[in-house]
């Protein structure tokens, strides 16, 4: 048989062909049912097959789907921007639409640099990020990502941005223990700024809860308050990458609300459209917009599909659906329920080192030894094996590996749509229980 014309994530793998989806369930063409325990890539926040969204698509498409943003604005894009600005904290009142999370973080990077350039400060061109982070796959976004596996082939093309240690208490990169450490990882940001010189640094970027590269790593409560203070001290912008955490996923509209910290820029994606259309956004503060408006008046970024009315109408309908069914509140309540259930598995299986999360962004980290927290060797492929066992039992979970230098960092995300019920969580956890039992046997033999 010849090679498929579609380039898939792993060439030669046999992927099932999707037929349809309903709520938290997906069905392939052979009639197999899967529980979408990862909302795809933590994206399908309102579940699959929602008719209201299909209607909103048609209602917009029958008028106009696309206009070029340099020629027209649209009611849908204006309303969506207003809605997001109303939800965003502080003076984050202006929205730039893009098509993916990578573009959202890369736009944030460009806006930060432009903000200083407009004031005649041309040296502030670096963005500090953290090891154990993922901000996207395009070269600017990847330059900011502390994700060795995804960076490795392109390092020569990436900007040499500095990285601070992540607030990864379970495997502290500074070998400290919380709370005795005094959240040293946040102080380290200040050390890096002082070493490089604050005149070089435009921004610090962070995921409020680390997702793809770490498996729902929640920082200590003091962390972001300290980070905000350091950024303010050195005139450095704080970018919250809420691509995964935003739009209610963690039980708040934006995860930074958990700590009452207001960033200068927020990057959004994934749950904003809940997967019904590719759309993402960069939300910018008045402080920044005032400077750009008084200067060149043009935010130096943009894509053909930016702010297209078709996608904007879909995102509006997604947010209305979230409001109608109080999905943010459900995420908070069901997240607690899920973590409690996962903690029961932790008692049962020594290879579960840590269970953590905020709202419905939940993670499990697997280790060789739960006492010493010694990780598995890369060759053990613990997460790959678990994913495939779960898959054959009809459960989808998300791999969160590769963010840490030197070991695999074997974590998964368990993050179903925000519509999930207690019964559905019990079903998911039952399958996980059976799957981890099977994995344990495989690892012993």
* Binding stretches for ligand PLP (CB under 6 A): 41, 100-102, 105, 134-137, 207, 211-212, 241, 243-244, 269
CB 330 within 8 Å of CB 184: no
Between CA 94 and CA 104 the distance in angstroms is 13
| Residue placing its CB nearer to ligand PLP in the complex, 351 or 359 | 359
Nearer to ligand PLP, 135 or 358 (CB): 135
> 41 or 291: whose CB is closer to ligand PLP?
41
CA dist 167 and 238 (Å) reads: 16
Provide the minimum distance between the beta carbon of 278 and ligand PLP in the complex, in angstroms, as a whole number.
8
Closest-by-Cβ residue to ligand PLP is: 101
CB 23 within 8 A of CB 400: no
3-state secondary structure of 288: helix
Distance (Å, rounded) from C-alpha 404 to C-alpha 12?
28
DSSP classification of residue 358: E
Question: Given 3-state DSSP classes, what are the helix, strand and coil percentages for the chain, each rounded to the nearest 5?
Answer: 40, 20, 40
Smallest separation (angstroms) from ligand PLP to the CB of 212: 4
DSSP SS3 for 353: strand
Cα dihedral value 6, 8, 14, 19, nearest 10: -70
Distance CA 255, CA 230 (A): 20
| Closest separation in Å from C-beta 147 to ligand PLP | 10
Q: What does the alpha-carbon distance between residue 345 and residue 430 come to, in Å, rounded to a whole number? A: 10
Cβ at position 242, least distance to ligand PLP in Å: 8
Closest CA to 283 of 274, 272, 297: 272
- Nearer Cβ to ligand PLP (136/375): 136
Alpha-carbon torsion (263, 172, 247, 410), positive or negative: positive
Shortest distance in whole angstroms from residue 289 CB to ligand PLP = 23
- Least Cβ distance, residue 270 to ligand PLP (angstroms): 6
How far, in Å, CA of 324 to CA of 96, rounded? 26
Given the complex with ligand PLP, which of 106 and 365 has the nearer CB atom?
Answer: 106
- For ligand PLP, the closer of residues 136 and 215 by Cβ is 136
94 membership: H or E segment, kind and range? strand 92-98
Q: Which residues contact 109 (CB under 8 A, 6 or more apart)?
A: 127, 140, 141, 144, 202, 203, 205, 239
> What is the per-residue burial (b if ≥16 Cβ within 10 Å, else e) of 128-157?
bbbbbbbbbeeebbbbbbbbbbbeeeeeee
- Which lies closer to ligand PLP via its Cβ, residue 203 or residue 352? 203
Q: Which is nearer to ligand PLP, 211 or 376 (CB)?
A: 211
> Residue 102 or 308: which CB sits closer to ligand PLP?
102
Quote the least distance from Cβ 42 to ligand PLP, whole Å.
7
356 DSSP assignment: E
Smallest gap from residue 136 Cβ to ligand PLP (A): 4
Smallest distance from ligand PLP to CB 40, Å:
11
């Amino acid at each position: 048989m010849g090679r498929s014309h579609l380039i898939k994530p792993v060439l030669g793998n046999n992927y099932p062909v999707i037929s349809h989806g309903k709520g938290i369930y997906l069905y392939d063409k052979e009639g197999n049912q899967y529980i979408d325990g990862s909302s795809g890539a933590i994206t399908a926040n309102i579940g699959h097959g929602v008719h209201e969204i299909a209607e909103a698509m048609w209602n917009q498409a029958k008028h106009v789907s696309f206009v070029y943003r340099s020629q027209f604005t649209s009611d849908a894009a204006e309303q969506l921007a207003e809605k997001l600005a109303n939800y965003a904290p502080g003076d984050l009142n202006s929205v730039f639409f893009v098509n993916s999370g990578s573009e959202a973080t890369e736009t944030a990077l460009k806006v930060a640099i432009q903000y200083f350039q407009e004031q005649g400060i041309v040296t502030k061109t670096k963005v500090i990020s953290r090891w154990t982070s993922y901000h996207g796959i395009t070269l600017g976004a990847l330059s900011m990502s502390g994700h060795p596996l995804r960076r490795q082939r392109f390092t020569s093309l990436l900007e040499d941005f500095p990285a601070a240690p992540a607030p990864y208490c379970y495997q502290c990169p500074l070998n400290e223990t919380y709370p005795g450490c005094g959240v040293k990882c946040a102080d380290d940001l200040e050390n890096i700024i002082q070493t490089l010189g604050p005149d070089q640094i435009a921004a610090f970027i962070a995921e409020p809860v680390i997702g793809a590269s770490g498996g729902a790593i929640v920082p200590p409560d003091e962390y972001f308050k300290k980070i905000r203070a350091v950024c303010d001290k050195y005139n450095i912008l704080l970018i919250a990458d809420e691509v995964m955490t935003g739009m209610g996923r963690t039980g708040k509209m934006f995860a930074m609300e958990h700590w009452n910290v207001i960033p200068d820029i927020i990057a959004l994606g994934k749950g904003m459209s809940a997967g019904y259309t590719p759309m993402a956004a960069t939300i910018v503060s008045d402080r920044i917009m005032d400077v750009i408006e008084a200067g060149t008046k043009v935010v130096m970024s943009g894509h053909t599909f930016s702010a297209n009315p078709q996608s904007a109408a879909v995102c509006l309908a997604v947010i209305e659906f979230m409001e109608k069914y109080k999905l943010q509140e459900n995420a908070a309540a069901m997240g607690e329920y899920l973590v409690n259930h996962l903690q029961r598995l932790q008692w049962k299986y020594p290879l579960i080192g840590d269970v953590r999360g905020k709202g419905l962004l939940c993670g499990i980290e697997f280790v060789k030894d739960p006492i010493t927290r010694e990780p598995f060797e890369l060759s053990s492929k613990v997460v790959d094996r678990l994913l495939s066992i779960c898959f054959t039992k009809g459960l989808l979970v998300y791999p969160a590996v590769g963010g840490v230098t030197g070991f695999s960092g074997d974590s998964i995300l368990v993050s179903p749509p925000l519509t999930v019920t207690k019964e559905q969580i019990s079903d998911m956890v039952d399958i996980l229980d059976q799957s981890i039992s099977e994995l344990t046997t495989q690892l012993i033999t």
